[in-house]
Amino acid sequence: MKILLTGSGGREFSLVKKCAESLHVTAIAVAPGSDAIGEIRLQNGEPVQCLPFAATDAKAIADWARDAKYDLVVPGPESSLESGLGDLCRKYGVPFAGPCQRGARLELSKAFAHEFCSKYGICQPRGAVFDTFGGARDFLSQNDPGWVIKADGSASGKGVIVPKNLQEAHSAIRRLMIDRILGKAGERVVIQELWKGRELSLHAIADKNGAHLFETARDYKRAGDGDTGENTGGMGAYSPGGELSPERRRQIESIIQSWRAGCAAEEILYRGILYPGLMIRDDDVAVLEFNARFGDPETQVYLQRLESDLPTLLLAAATDTLKPEMLSWHSLGSVCVNAVSGGYGYGKPLDLHHEITGLDDIAKLPQVDIIHAGTKKVNGKWINVGGRVVGIRAWDDTRAGARERAYDAMERLLFEGMHYRRDIARELEF
């Protein structure tokens, strides 16, 4: 099987690494990939090929996959979905393990997702969509505080605001809707009740005939320990993320069934990964958001636990041949902790281009993997070139054991300005 993937970060590094472990895979190309991704070798000894196309260059990627007779295209970031890559691949007859452009709106438009959930009876925090500042302001003034304000469009994690009081809420909608601090993304807003509870990242893999739940995972979005600092792309993750009671599982499966019914009614062609961000509060489970691709860094821990052959699974999703028994998991605990650049998650410019040391030492540790995210090789040395730089991923029989291994390895990693959360995977089970 020949696979083309898009993207260049930690999620993509781990997807490529997992695909490269498969005996079914004879070639992997990545658009655009990275220096580290280009160093991964397949089981047949061939290197991964990095293509000179941005992950959003749908035409170049789809043309290349078609002309090179690739068997499968797998999107990394949502920007590939937004570019219409799925629609173009399908037009060319190249299997694509992701939704169509319209399906990606579930992630890329918070208003579309809110209206979709309302229409198809999917539990979400109570709220509404607003096109005008006046409407949003009146709604806030007439209701108790405790709201989440979401810019409709995608804004790299900056579009979700949790105001502490009415004054802050008014100021937030003014900045989004009148000052347009996020441009068009803030033209419309969704205001929802703030739910406090337990967050859960859950993935499902879908084809035309059904959707199958992954095991549980949890990620950490805030930059600092104890959930302080700004929202980030993700500072770490672990899996399993907690046992689901039969009742919880039933609730989540019912969400997935309603989502499928909604996709069918809205003529959304959805294949591949659905990743709903869930909130569990008392007896209820609500959808906080939908993501239309693999989570980052949840993918890193999921793939360490995945026993099934990933390329086979993704091809089956793309070609409507998925079967529940294709999905199996190792019963180990996996933890991934991200080391990030100075300034990341604290609204400051990133402190970049410093040499990263300790990687050779970490590479010798058992049950520990290095996940390259924002790195580049210059004169034989790795330097940091992005916000999230290196993930340290470890496994063990238990989550506590995996956590200890990951943090022990992390102590050997160093680059100027580097920081990481020290409380990843510390929670008790729930």
Give the footprint of ligand GLY on this chain (CB under 6 A): 219, 234, 291, 295-296, 298
We find the least distance from the C-beta atom of residue 5 to ligand GLY, in angstroms, to be: 16
Measured from the CB atom, is 82 or 296 closer to ligand GLY? Answer: 296
3-state secondary structure of 280: strand
Q: Could you tell me where the beta strands, DSSP code E, fall in 131-179?
A: 147-151, 160-161
We find the least distance from the C-beta atom of residue 336 to ligand GLY, in angstroms, to be: 11
Measured from the CB atom, is 83 or 291 closer to ligand GLY? Answer: 291
The residue sitting closest to ligand GLY, measured at its beta carbon, is 295
We find the least distance from the C-beta atom of residue 241 to ligand GLY, in angstroms, to be: 12
Cβ neighbours around 336 below 10 Å, total: 34
Measured from the CB atom, is 234 or 387 closer to ligand GLY? Answer: 234
Measured from the CB atom, is 302 or 382 closer to ligand GLY? Answer: 302
Task: Give the Cα separation of 194 and 317 in Å (integer).
Answer: 35
Say if residue 349 is exposed, middle or buried (CB neighbours under 10 Å; 0-12, 13-18, 19+). Answer: exposed
We find the least distance from the C-beta atom of residue 122 to ligand GLY, in angstroms, to be: 19
Q: At what angle do helices 110-119 and 101-108 cross, to 10 degrees?
A: 100
We find the least distance from the C-beta atom of residue 251 to ligand GLY, in angstroms, to be: 22
We find the least distance from the C-beta atom of residue 228 to ligand GLY, in angstroms, to be: 18
Task: Give the Cα separation of 273 and 271 in Å (integer).
Answer: 7
Task: Give the Cα separation of 73 and 76 in Å (integer).
Answer: 10
How far from the centroid of its chain's Cα atoms is residue 200's Cα? 13
Q: 393 near 334, Cβ under 8 Å?
A: yes
Measured from the CB atom, is 57 or 78 closer to ligand GLY? Answer: 78
Q: List the one residue out of 207, 221, 206 whose CA is nearest residue 298.
A: 221
Measured from the CB atom, is 354 or 421 closer to ligand GLY? Answer: 421
